[in-house]
Amino acid sequence: MIGSEAVDRSELLELYRRHYNAPLARHFELGGCSVETSAAGSFVVDELGREYLDVATAHGIFGIGHCNPAIQDQILAQLEAVAGPTGDLQHDAGISLTSRLAALLPADLNRVLYAGSGSEAIEIALRTALLARPGRTRLIAARNAYHGKTLGALGVMGMTHLRVPFEPLWSDVSRVTYGDVDEIAAAIGDGAAAVLLEPVLAGGTIQVPPAGYLERVRDLCDRTGTLLIVDEVQTGLGRTGKMFGIEHAGVVPDMVVLSKILTGGCVPIAVTVVAEAVAREADRQAAGADYRSESACWPLVAAAADAAVAYVETNRLDDRARRLGAYLGDCLGTLTEMFPRFVVDTPGVGLMRGIRVRNRVVETALWLQLRRRDVIVGLSLNSAAATPVLRIYPPLTVSRAELDQLMEALYDSLVSLERMRPRAIYALAAPAMALQFWLPARLLTAAANRADTAPNAAVER
Amino acid sequence: MPAPKPNRGPVAVSAQGATIRLSDASSLLDFASGGFGHGAAPVAAAVARQMAVNPLATRHFLSLPLGQLTARLAARCPGDLEVSYLCSSQSEAVDGALKLVRGLCPDRHKIVVVRGSNHGSTLGALSVCGRESMRAPLPPLLFEPIIAADANATIGLVDRDTAAVIVEAWPGGHGLPGRDPGWLRALSGRCSESGSLLIADETRSGVGISGAMFGIEHESVVPDLLVLGGGLGGGVLPLAGYVTRRDLNDRVYGRRDPTLHASTTGGNPAACVAGIATLEMVEREGLLERAATRGSQLLSALRELADRQPDSIKEVIGVGLFAQVRLAGPDAGGVAAAARSLGLACEVEAELPGVLLRPPLLVTEEEIERGVEILGDAIGLAVPSGAAR
């Protein structure tokens, strides 16, 4: 199972097809994706020993790098002592993580509720808000926002193609255009239960809000008693160049949801941190019913997360993200001018960056080109977006040389795409993307192989 | 900003089997949590190896542990249950199952549940909660289920408007009292007739606790969705999921965006190697037979206790590694509190009479002996003064 065992890629694809996720198997097959067997720092190694620079980091979970040796000892020690749930008994790892997060977050954001995933943590936040604001049912979230895929989180999902097949969900959700304060004001009216926003919109896109946006939303919430929930799953713990994304605006929300970097790249975990006064009100309304989660804070999980947050703090990875992010931002900014046929813009902040491309075919072609050059960037996974954004979330431990490697691969890839295909072909091919799961696999595999190899032939010539 | 002062009692520092050692040198026998138990060495070793090389997946490549675990689950699950969705909590697994039901049956609105049941805490999972005391204070849920008075009563409530029935398939959960033999098979038959889906929540009873790998095997029933959790991660990492038939899965997720349902850390390599090592350990170390033996030991020890304290204990019911001690005199909450002070954690639920014992799969013979002994002492302590004896 691990390392030493020989891996047969086509057998594994067959297992995915039969027992896990057939469309994903097809996606991997078409992309010629290999098998990840190990990882360290900014690199992932496949079954053939090929090393890839990972600047996708699964939407940011490898924020402190892959298999960071600095936290391995703590994980192994906890594994040795006690890993699994301890009922209502506390443990040092959990106590330490709870107080570390409470100390990092401003004001009375002190009540740390544990969950197994970002979706679950979002659900806890929404339920807490509805309890703490009895009589109010309205939830406000951004169009295009992504907050998870459990049924409750799906209710505030902005991407319709992921939500609609499972409706009806929450009955009273207002969807607003991210960045537009007036729409939020209209949706709040006399008062909603909660507004749920990301400090940077990041569900298959990257959108930095206009200056003053979150401040004005906070003000609207204050005036109407509406709670402000900030989804910092992707932005939190240094990604944007500040410890939390909200610090750019200087606002204090009523709840913060964290995951991704919190996982240490090792364990599944998310938390909802609730302002003490709001938590008390929710407790009172719940009258003893447990509205939070059955997911206990497992000692092993807590130890890994605690070590990860300590690593971010000790090494000031937020500062590092700001410094290196400015450099990366400048580099990426040149792409729009150099390759206007493919690149629309390069939004982002800190080490949370994106490359908005003309259409989904360009996205896929660029992703494949980069992988040929041993670089993994994040696919938008947003099949509804007209101009999808490839996400660049390097580990916050990334070196400048590794960022240069990324840029070199990006230039080469875009040059290849320019040489090979007139723009019209990309535009014509885009609608075919929607049909990919209905077309014969052999046809698509052949097309993908051509797309994968032909541009390089051009470079070599 | 100021860190809250942690409420520091003694904390858990190490654990083995059902026993948790505390920082004040005392220990607690955990007969409240069920699951796999602590200190499964083969599982810990597999996880330690994986932690060093590839604990979570980038999701841009294939993952061998994920493929292997889903294949193993398909091989081990009865009938044609062969497609898995893996995640990190029971709630998410139940939620995922209900999401599939949503996708499959948009026009059927009835979901049947059993009174007293508790399937987790996501919005979907809470919506199928069969406890009015839990539902009532909460904000509106997704839907109002049809709540059957008990497990047997579910059968009569399933009709052509019913999208799904969710039950704890084996009486290790809330349905213990008064299940008719063969009820699950009858329910399964009724679901087939009406085209309703049967969801078996085995987060508590699965992975050996019932004396079989899955509780459904006791009645040879194949549900449409089997929900797993609890012991699946070997007590080392959280791991849960559901297993379903390919035709059901494909009607919602086939030929669609591959990320229509997914979670970044669900089915991660570390949890999957834990799951693989757990299933291997259950087979290799004969843990199913062991669970049956320990279960019999628990039941007979409790019956002896009942014989010695007939005025306090009305009845003892048990199956697999689960037992319910119904009390005649003392209050169950008082007994559980007394037991806790003597070093035994057991469960009391408002909706079920008596004290519930759920030792983990790895419980030892000595731990069961000691647990029952403590329970006896606790009942003695909790008998109201002036009561008989």
Question: Measured between beta carbons, which residues in chain A are less than 8 angstroms from residue B50?
Answer: 2
For B188, how many CA atoms within 13 A lie in the half-sphere containing its CB? 16
Secondary structure of residue A274 in the 3-state scheme: strand
- State the first-to-last Cα distance of chain A, in angstroms, to the nearest integer: 42
Question: Do the bridges between strand A389-392 and strand A352-357 make them parallel or antiparallel, or are there none, so unpaired?
Answer: antiparallel
Give the helix/strand (H/E) hosting B372: helix B365-382
Across the interface, whether the CB atoms of A1 and B273 are under 8 A apart is answered: yes
Q: How far is CA B120 from CA B131, B175, B233, B340, B364, in A?
A: 12, 16, 17, 25, 29
Rounded-to-integer distance, Cα B84 and Cα A267, Å:
20
Question: Measured between beta carbons, which residues in chain A are less than 8 angstroms from residue B266?
Answer: 117, 268
β-bridge partners, B197: B164
Listed as ranges, residues in chain A with pLDDT below 50 are 1-4, 451-461
The predicted pLDDT at position B223 comes to 97
Across the interface, whether the CB atoms of A84 and B236 are under 8 A apart is answered: yes
Q: Is the preceding omega at residue B269 within 30 degrees of 0, hence cis?
A: no
Chain B contact present for A110, CB below 8 A: yes
Is A163 in contact with A178 (CB distance < 8 Å)? Answer: no
Residue A429 CB neighbour total at 10 angstroms: 18
- The answer for A 7-26 residues in CB contact with B (under 8 A) is 7, 9, 12-13, 15-16, 18-24, 26
Disruptive mutation site among B29, B76, B77, B88 for chain A (greatest number of A CBs within 10 Å):
B88
The predicted pLDDT at position A18 comes to 96
- CA torsion angle B189 B193 B195 B197 (round to 10): -10
CA angle A425, A429, A433 (to 5 degrees): 160
- Both tokens of A277, joined, read 């006064």
Question: Measured between beta carbons, which residues in chain A are less than 8 angstroms from residue B270?
Answer: 266-267
- CA nearest B15 in A: which residue? A82
The predicted pLDDT at position A315 comes to 98
Chain B contact present for A72, CB below 8 A: yes
**Please, which residues have CB within 8 angstroms of residue B128's CB and are 6 or more apart in sequence?**
B94, B98, B111, B113, B117, B119, B145, B166
Question: Do the bridges between strand A352-357 and strand A343-345 make them parallel or antiparallel, or are there none, so unpaired?
Answer: antiparallel
Question: Measured between beta carbons, which residues in chain A are less than 8 angstroms from residue B349?
Answer: none
- Model confidence pLDDT, tens digit, residues A62-121: 999 999 999 999 999 999 999 999 988 999 999 999 999 999 999 999 999 999 999 999
Rounded-to-integer distance, Cα A60 and Cα A37, Å:
19
- Count of residues making up chain A: 461
For B113, how many CA atoms within 13 A lie in the half-sphere containing its CB? 24
Is A415 in contact with A372 (CB distance < 8 Å)? Answer: no
Dihedral angle sign, alpha carbons of residues A260, A263, A268, A269: negative
Please give the distance of CA A34 from its chain centroid, rounded to a whole number: 22
If you compute the radius of gyration of chain A from its CA atoms, what whole number of angstroms results?
22
Disruptive mutation site among A59, A71, A74, A120 for chain B (greatest number of B CBs within 10 Å):
A120
Chain B contact present for A435, CB below 8 A: no
Question: Measured between beta carbons, which residues in chain B are less than 8 angstroms from residue A127?
Answer: 123, 138-139
Across the interface, whether the CB atoms of A34 and B235 are under 8 A apart is answered: no
- CA nearest B43 in A: which residue? A79
Question: Measured between beta carbons, which residues in chain A are less than 8 angstroms from residue B13?
Answer: 81-82, 91-92
Across the interface, which of A7, A92, A268 has its CB nearest the CB of B64?
A: A7
| Model pTM score | 0.94
- Both tokens of A140, joined, read 């406000």
Gap from B315 CA to chain A (nearest CA, Å): 27
Chain B contact present for A287, CB below 8 A: yes
3-state DSSP: chain A helix, strand, coil percent, rounded to 5?
A: 50, 15, 35
Give the burial string for B3-32 (b: 16+ CB within 10 Å, else e). eeeeeeeebbbbbbbbbbbbbeeebbbbbb
Is B230 in contact with B197 (CB distance < 8 Å)? Answer: no
Across the interface, whether the CB atoms of B138 and A289 are under 8 A apart is answered: yes
The predicted pLDDT at position A3 comes to 41
- CA nearest B121 in A: which residue? A293
Across the interface, whether the CB atoms of A151 and B62 are under 8 A apart is answered: no
Q: How far is CA A441 from CA A387, A425, A445, B247, B251, in A?
A: 26, 21, 6, 20, 19
- Model confidence pLDDT, tens digit, residues A179-229: 999 999 999 999 999 999 999 999 878 999 999 999 999 999 999 999 999
Is B243 in contact with B286 (CB distance < 8 Å)? Answer: no
Rounded-to-integer distance, Cα B266 and Cα A68, Å:
21
Across the interface, which of A98, A149, A276 has its CB nearest the CB of B263?
A: A149
Chain B contact present for A226, CB below 8 A: no
Disruptive mutation site among A166, A167, A233 for chain B (greatest number of B CBs within 10 Å):
A166
Chain B contact present for A299, CB below 8 A: yes
The predicted pLDDT at position A206 comes to 93
Gap from B154 CA to chain A (nearest CA, Å): 24
ipTM for this model? 0.94
Across the interface, whether the CB atoms of B71 and A90 are under 8 A apart is answered: no
Across the interface, which of A37, A99, A161 has its CB nearest the CB of B6?
A: A99
**Nearest partner of B226 among B218, B216, B234, judged by Cα:** B216
Secondary structure of residue B196 in the 3-state scheme: coil
Is A426 in contact with A362 (CB distance < 8 Å)? Answer: yes
Gap from A161 CA to chain B (nearest CA, Å): 8
Across the interface, whether the CB atoms of B58 and A120 are under 8 A apart is answered: no
- CA nearest A102 in B: which residue? B3
Listed as ranges, residues in chain B with pLDDT below 50 are 2-4, 173, 175, 385-389
Question: Measured between beta carbons, which residues in chain B are less than 8 angstroms from residue A38?
Answer: 53-54
Chain B contact present for A137, CB below 8 A: yes
Dihedral angle sign, alpha carbons of residues B39, B45, B47, B52: positive
Chain B contact present for A291, CB below 8 A: yes
If you compute the radius of gyration of chain B from its CA atoms, what whole number of angstroms results?
21
Across the interface, which of A19, A57, A90 has its CB nearest the CB of B82?
A: A19
The predicted pLDDT at position A214 comes to 98
Q: How far is CA B250 from CA A107, A166, A211, in A?
A: 48, 15, 45
The predicted pLDDT at position A203 comes to 81
Residue B42 CB neighbour total at 10 angstroms: 15
- CA nearest B346 in A: which residue? A87
